[in-house]
Structure 1
Amino acid sequence: MSSFRRGSAVARTALPPRVTGRLTRTTWVDLVVAAGVLVLFYITLRVGQGTTVRFSTGQSVVIDTDPSRLPYDAARSLLRMFVALAASIVFTLGYATAAARSRRLERILIPALDILQSVPVLGFLTVAVTGFIALFPGSLLGLECASIFAIFTSQAWNMTFGFYRSLTSLPRELDELSRSFRFTRWMRFWKVELPAGAIGLVWNGMMSFGGGWFFLVASEAISVNNRNYALPGVGSYAGAAIAAGDLGKVGWAIVTMAVMVIGVNFLFWRPLTAWVEKFKNEQSEAGEIQRSYVLGFLRRSSWPRLLGRLLRPVGRGLGRAGRVLGVDDRPLTVDPRQQRTGDIAFAVVAGGLILWGLIDLVGYLRARTGLGVLGEPLLLGLATLARVVVVVVGATVVWVPIGVRIGFSPKLTRIAQPLVQVLASFPANFLFPLAVWFFLKTGLSINIGGVLLMALGAQWYILFNTIAGAMSIPTDLREAMDDLGVRGWQRWKRLILPGIFPSYVTGGITASGGAWNASIVSEIVPFGATTLTATGLGAYISHATADGDFPHLIAGVAVMSLYVVGLNRLLWRRLHRIAETRCAI
């Protein structure tokens, strides 16, 4: 199929006659695609039946570690991961768009996002397990929802930050184009904003999916309030094998995880990354483009185009609904006096709610343990902060040059993408047996070795965002640099660093938050009867969660949120403003 590179993200490519003719007849490719979709639906329904069986909070938890159970466990884990991914996409599109379009909401939503990403997965689990079990009494669906919610919290924040950044750094000509054509808000979002942020959204989605794998053990084998809950899945299987000290079964879990990650990459992420290349904002076509066997096969089928035609009335219906509700045709600019009055009212209401929440929190801690409970986590947070800084700086030095190299070369991207995806998706818990052996054999303290385990869950955010930023740099700008003979440091200074900087800032924010979150599973390393514990805030929160000590858990989470938000306010937000004003292409 012939195609041409767009000058803007809103241009359309006419289908050749031989393609339009294919829409009127069924081919063997259509039959294969239809059969594949039916098989996928069947497997989903069969696996989904296990999520609604009866369950009692008092029943004992026994994880079957027979390797023959791994295919079913893998299917259950994949179902949770994709449900959480779908929820993360919906949350990202709504939350990021609201924050980017409304200056009032931005002042609340972005700091709130800083706090949300700083709350560790175990902090969410403590509340989620109790709440969802009460919502679905006597059913395993409550635990399933709690596990999916935990995976969602490890995916959504990175995607939301990335899409928000793409909206706030929208190319000026696209913004002017939407205004000159008098696009409604829905048309502006669907035709301009979403295509402009598509590359970053897909790559951040891939990274966030890897973050979900990283916390798979914590979300499937849950220990809260001195009670152990577990769901069928690769994470709980690996957790049981690690607790039993069975290296053979841990090996089976590692093999299964690798197969799942590579399979998802080949069937899902590789086609998506190749497809979003068409949204690149450039004037000339790249010499090499990403390719996917799955995407090429789907393009030979008429089902995707037929589905697109069937969904067009849905889009038109949403646009009409927006106009009826009065939210789709509002002007993109407002009266300054009305804006100032609204800002004051909004600040008073929002500030009052935040102050009420802080007063209530202080009152709770004072009544249970006294405010002195905050002293220990504040000191322990300094140790974890030092590890976070080492992880972010080390990841920047190592992965930014590599990410640029991968992003500039589609051929290298095809080779590196599955490898990077496997490494980024590998849960640190799976390496606990090797880590315990290595630390004991070498005498390396867990206080230092924990940095390596934290890096497994955080460094990839910088790499993936750097790759996405490098891929977003227009080919015509790179060719112009080649024609002018700009090489070496000047090329980095004039093109590469400004081009990737907005994406790097997004990666840095989420890597910093991810490192804090990863400290929960990296500062306590168990295997069999041996447990190594580091001095830090992550270990403090893990102990409080396992013991059901809610005052200490709240104190630990509050202090971690304080550190993350403070770091974001002092460093990352300032860098984000520079990226918005000086580095937008």
Structure 2
Amino acid sequence: MSLFTIGGRSLIRTDDRSQASRGAKLLTGGAVAVGSVVLFGAIAYILPGFSAPIGPSGIPSHISTDPSNLPYYALRSVFRMFIALFFSLIFTFIYGLAAARSRRLRTVLIPLLDILQSVPVLGFLSATISIWLVLFPGSILGVEAAAIFAIFTSQAWNMAFSFYTSLTSEPAELDEAARILRLSKWERFWKLDVPGSMIPLLWNCMMSVGGGWFFLTASEMISVNNRTLALPGIGSYVEEAASQRDIGKIGWAILTMVIVVLLIDFLLWKPLTAWSEKFRVSQSVSTEPRKSLVLTVIRLSGINDILAHVGRPVASFLDTITRPLGKTGSRWGRPTSRSKAGDLVWYACIALVCLWGVWQIYDLVISTVGMSEVGRTFLLGFYTFLRVTLLMVVCTLVWVPIGALIGMNPKLSRILQPVVQIFSSFPANFVFPFVTLIFIAWHVDINWGSILLMALGTQWYIVFNVIAGASAIPDDLLEMSRSLRQPRWQRWKTLILPAVFGSWCTGGITAAGGAWNASIVSEVVSYGDHTLTARGLGAYIAEVTARGDTPRIILGVTVMSIFVVLVNWLFWMPMQNLAGRRYTLT
């Protein structure tokens, strides 16, 4: 090899460096090409199963529990999960932007989001399964669409809340810069709104996938109107194995699930978290940036240059055609003038719609089941409310300090992030059969044990949002705190806790809604012939949904929505207003 020496040190010549660079680019490019072929090949392999016609015996009600089918079932489940995540992301951008930018729409969209996140997955399934079957007659695609929609309903709400919160807490100087530069609304969205929300939105995407796994069993083994519709997947496999009381097969499913979660973390989440570091608001470079082998390979392969070459003309074209949408004007959410007559008409329409909804509920439900059933349902809702409240208090005390430490410490984050993602992505209801056996053996009251089961699936909303909030703290503020030699308790009081307060609010409001939703599968657990049922609204909804009692399904979902909306209005909304008023970088 040709070398030359400067100051006693041997250096590789420029042409040798170029050859090494070309070799690395060729090697990494080949790795990216192979990975792309494997990805598209896997999609092509499982797609025929999604559109297969319904056989002579109708929609299947059970699946094979042969462990050799688990790799295929895992592919089917992961594919459903990420299709739902794609639609959840589109929903997040549209819904969050509308709620943040329109004062009138906000008065409807935010309370509606509270209601939607409280409606159980089973409630969506019972209301939509017939619609999907009609849209895709004679095809399994109708059941697949219903399952994907159910997963979507477990993913979208916390992402929309996160994006909305990021938009309403954008730094004032960045908003001022966008208006001075007269960015179009389209340019502002992609140059300020999305980058500014990227870190918390990414962590909420991770949490959404975890939430989707939690409800995978209910999504793939659909039981409505006394019918069971089974789809090939890990969730339905576990449900079938649990009904057969086969612990060994459940163990194989858990092992498969751990492998899937590790692969998704390595191939997707780690590269994205390392890439998202570029969107941190800071005047200094992070001393210990996040790293990812996959991201390094992608960058060395040169695919970024190819995508930029292809995407630049597309971006220019989109910028041109979106100019009629207008430019960034006055500060969002602070109109210079208000139309009182328009507001009056708007709120009158909302009142009329609410009155119509109340009348319809009374006509369809209360007149059928009676007021005594309504009172009983509210009492059951109060029991579940107490469980959710206790759960939120304990999770906040435990996970806020831990999440903040993980988010602020890159070394700790590299070690614990995969662990947290494994536990959060792992569907807790997969271990419900084992927990049921423990409850039975130790005589644990399910009325208390259901709190633990709810926590297994919903505590991660707080963890991930706090990690995101802590990781977004500017290094300048942390360095200033160290320079001032603040005591640890004072740093937590004046910097860390205020910085993660808004993220805790976002995580708390979605965790509370998720806990209500999780009560459906946590207040009724079974293994074989053993079934434990807690006294609560979740068990009530699960029971009436299984037997197809539509009036009581509507009643249970309505009562759950009322509890969630009241708690959000009386507690979480004031907390979010406080976070926006006192604890944002403006």
Superposition TM-score tier, normalisation by shorter sequence: over 0.9
Structure 2 counterpart of 1:241: 241
Residues 341-380 of structure 1 mapped to structure 2, 5 A cutoff: 341-380=341-380
Shift in Å at residue 203 of structure 1? Answer: 0.4
What is the aligned partner in structure 2 of residue 544 from structure 1?
Answer: 544
In the TM superposition, residue 25 of structure 1 has moved relative to its aligned partner by 11
Q: What number of residue pairs does the alignment pair up?
A: 565
- 1:277 aligned onto 2:290: no
Please state whether the residue corresponding to 1:526 is helix, strand or coil: strand
Whether contact under 8 Å (2:182, 2:327) holds in the other structure is no
Q: Which amino acid aligns with 2:45?
A: R
Inter-partner Cα distance in structure 1 for 2:528 and 2:317: 57
Distance 1:479 1:549, change over 3 A: same
Q: Secondary structure of 1:300's match?
A: helix
1:504 deviates by 0.5
- CA distance 1:378–1:527, change in 2 (3 Å): same
In structure 2, the CA distance between the partners of 1:541 and 1:464, relative to structure 1 (3 Å rule), is same
Moved more, 350-359 or 116-125: 350-359
Alignment of 1:80 with 2:86, yes or no, is: no
Q: How does 1:176-325 map to 2 (within 5 A)?
A: 176-323=176-323
Of 325, 328, 348, the residue aligned with 2:326 is 328
Secondary structure at the aligned position of 2:431 is classed as helix
**C-alpha displacement of 1:321:** 2.7
In the other structure, the counterpart of 1:451 is 451
The one-letter code of the counterpart of 2:53 is R
Shift of the 317–377 alpha-carbon distance from structure 1 to 2, 3 Å rule, reads farther
Larger deviation: 150-159 or 310-319? 310-319
8 Å contact from structure 2 (residues 290, 410) kept in 1 = yes
d(CA) in 2 for partners of 1:537, 1:228: 23
Distance 1:336 1:350, change over 3 A: farther
- Alignment partner, residue 7 of structure 2: none
Q: Residue 346 and residue 484 in structure 1: after superposition, are their counterparts in 2 closer, same or farther (change >3 A)?
A: same
Structure 1 position 62, deviation (Å): 2.7
> Which secondary structure does the structure 2 equivalent of 1:27 belong to?
helix
Q: Superposed, which structure 2 residues align to 1:522-541 within 5 Å? A: 522-541=522-541
Q: Tell me the equivalent position of 2:39.
A: 40
Q: Percent identity?
A: 50
Match of 2:574 in 1: 574
Distance change >3 Å, CA 433–CA 26, structure 1 → 2: closer
The unaligned stretches of length 5 or more in structure 1 are 1-17
Offset of residue 312 of structure 1: 2.5
The residue identity in structure 1 corresponding to 2:558 is: A
Amino acid at match of 2:364: Y
- The CA deviation at 1:275 is 0.5
Q: Structure 1 residue 39: deviation in Å? A: 1.9
Is contact 2:179–2:329 with CA below 8 Å preserved after alignment? no
When Rg is computed on C-alpha atoms for both structures, the one with the higher figure is 2
Q: How does 1:141-152 map to 2 (within 5 A)?
A: 141-152=141-152
Letter of the structure 1 residue corresponding to residue 548 of structure 2: G
The more displaced of 471-480 and 419-428 is 419-428
Matched with 2:12 is: none
Give the AA of the match of 2:49: G
Partner of 2:89: 89
Q: What is the alpha-carbon distance in structure 2 between the residues aligned to residue 226 and residue 453 of structure 1? A: 26
Asked whether the equivalents of residues 373 and 555 of structure 1 are also in contact (C-alpha less than 8 Å), the reply is no
User: What letter matches 1:51 in structure 2?
Assistant: F
Aligned-partner Cα distance in 2 for 1:309–1:340: 50
Closer, same or farther: CA 564–272 of 1 in aligned 2, 3 Å: same
* Aligned residue in 2 for 1:496: 496
Displacement of 1:473 in angstroms is 0.4
Whole-angstrom distance in 2 between the partners of 1:386 and 1:504: 20
Superposition deviation, residue 454 in structure 1: 0.4
Conservation of the 8 A alpha-carbon contact between 2:242 and 2:527: yes
Distance in 1 (alpha carbons) for counterparts of 2:530 and 2:70 = 26
Counterparts of 2:24 and 2:66 in 1: how far apart (Å)? 48
User: How much does 1:187 deviate?
Assistant: 1.2
Q: TM-score, normalised by structure 2?
A: 0.93
Letter of the 2:31 partner, please give it: V
Distance 2:91 2:584 in 1: 25
Say if 2:151 and 2:212, in contact at 8 Å, map to a contact too: yes
CA contact (8 A) 2:182 2:328 kept: no
Measured in 2, the distance between the counterparts of 1:301 and 1:78 equals: 26
Q: Which moved more, 1:491-500 or 1:28-37?
A: 28-37
Match of 2:28 in 1: 29
| Structure 1 residue 60, shift from structure 2 partner | 4.5
- The one-character-per-residue Cα deviations of 1:384-431 (angstroms, maximum 9, x if unpaired) are 111101111111011111101101111111111111111112223211
Q: How far 1:493 sits from its partner (Å)? A: 1.2
Instruction: Give the Cα–Cα distance (whole angstroms) in 2 for the partners of residues 313 and 249 of structure 1.
Output: 52
* Deviation, structure 1 residue 375: 1.5
- Cα shift at 1:358: 2.2
User: Is the CA contact 1:362–1:371 (under 8 Å) kept in the aligned structure 2?
Assistant: no
What's the offset of the Cα at 1:489? 1.8
Q: Which residue is equivalent to 1:438?
A: 438
1:349 to partner: Cα distance: 2.5
Instruction: Check whether the contact 2:424–2:460 (CA below 8 A) recurs between aligned residues.
Output: yes
CA apart distance, 1:500 = 0.4
**Contact 2:457-2:518 at 8 Å conserved across structures:** yes
Distance (whole Å) between structure 2 residues aligned to residue 579 and residue 42 of structure 1: 47
- 1:87 aligned partner, one-letter code: F
3-state DSSP of counterpart to 2:228: strand
Helix, strand or coil: the match of 2:301? coil
Q: Where do 1:379-528 residues align within 5 Å?
A: 379-528=379-528
* CA contact 1:499–1:584 (8 Å) conserved in 2: yes
State the 1:460 CA deviation. Answer: 0.7
Q: Once the 2 structures are TM-superposed, how far is the Cα of residue 561 of structure 1 from its aligned partner?
A: 0.4
Q: Which amino acid in the other structure matches residue 187 of structure 1?
A: E
What displacement does 1:339 show?
A: 3.8
Retained in 1: the 8 A contact 2:188–2:328? no
Residue by residue over 1:484-504, the C-alpha shift from the partner in whole angstroms, topping out at 9 and shown as x without a partner, is 011222111110011001101
Write the distance in 2 (CA, Å) between the matches of 1:366 and 1:498.
46
Q: Would you say the 8 A contact 2:98–2:106 is kept in 1?
A: yes
Indicate the SS of the match to 1:197.
Answer: helix
Structure 2 Cα separation of the partners of residues 388 and 140 of structure 1 = 37
- Quote the offset at 1:362 in angstroms: 1.5
**What displacement does 1:457 show?**
1.2
Letter in 2 for 1:114: D
Deviation at 1:304, TM superposition (A): 2.4
| Equivalent residue letter for 1:511 | A
Tell whether the 8 Å contact from 1:469 to 1:503 is kept in structure 2 after alignment.
yes
- Asked if the contact 2:238–2:253 (Cα under 8 Å) also holds between the matched residues in 1, the reply is yes
- In 1: Cα distance, 2:22 partner to 2:105 partner: 45
Q: What is the identity, as a one-letter code, of the residue corresponding to 1:38? A: V
What is the Cα deviation at residue 58 of structure 1?
A: 4.2
Deviations 1:186-220 (A, max 9, x none): 11111111111100000011011100011111100
Match of 1:70 in 2: 70
1:49 aligns with 2:60: no
Aligned equivalents of 1:408 and 1:154: distance in 2? 29
Structure 2 match to 1:13: none
Distance 2:23 2:250 in 1: 51
Matches within 5 A, 1:95-174: 95-174=95-174
**How far is the alpha carbon of 1:458 from its aligned partner?**
1.0
Give the alignment's TM-score, normalised by structure 1: 0.93
CA contact (8 A) 2:168 2:580 kept: yes
For each residue in 1:82-132, what CA deviation from the matched residue of structure 2 results, as whole angstroms up to 9, or x when unmatched?
100101111101110111111111111111000000001110111121110
Q: List alignment gaps of at least 5 residues for structure 2.
A: 1-16
SS of 1:97's partner is: helix
CA 1:267–1:314 in structure 2 vs 1: closer, same or farther (change >3 Å)?
same
1: CA distance, partners of 2:44 / 2:209: 22
Root-mean-square deviation over aligned CA pairs: 1.9
AA paired with 1:27?
Answer: L
Cα distance 1:449–1:42, how it changes in 2: closer, same or farther (>3 A)?
same
1:525, CA displacement in angstroms?
Answer: 0.8
